[in-house]
Amino acid sequence: MYAPTKLLSKDAVKVWMISETIMNGIWFVLLAVLLYLDNRFSWYDWIGWVLIGVTILSVIISIWSIFIRPVLLYKTWRYEVDEEFLRLKSGVIQEKHELIPMTKVQAVSTKQGPLLRKYKLCSISVSTVATSHGIPALPEEVAIELRNQIAQFAKVKEIDE
């Protein structure tokens, strides 16, 4: 067996960065409210120190999740499809190889949220009896063609979400 070679869209990095920025922004607003409430109501001193520690840790985690992780994910994500298998390879710290037999595929669908839609991208979800597998952030045309190809190889009916 060979390793998968097809890449995701380069816009995946932008989508992941924007998504992480939104999520981290919400978290920092919550932390700011807690810090304000701590200052306003003079909670125990240790609560303020814990909140400051959590804020510092959150800044470090945010730098990782917004600027470093998306680039590394893009560099490590690969997929390949043939008549027998769907091959997926991903992972930044822990590399994961998945080999899904086409005979086990029960459903295949495309998904597109607001951020993916803005960049004309889709994600593919492949369901088997045991679990679901995904290929994130493919160009729309590629995703639809790949979805149809997987459905044809697996002999499943088309599902569009």
Q: Where are the domains of the chain?
A: 11-74, 78-154
The model's pTM:
0.88
Note whether 32 and 81 are within 8 A (CB). no
On the CB side of 65, CA atoms within 13 Å amount to 15
Pairing of strands 132-139, 96-101: unpaired
Quick: pLDDT tens for 130-143.
899 999 999 999 99
Average pLDDT, rounded, for the chain: 93
Q: What are phi and psi of 79, to 5 degrees?
A: -145, 160
The yes or no reply on domain 78-154 and CATH 2.30.29.210 is yes
Report whether pLDDT(156) > 80.
Answer: no
Quick: pLDDT tens for 60-70.
999 999 999 99
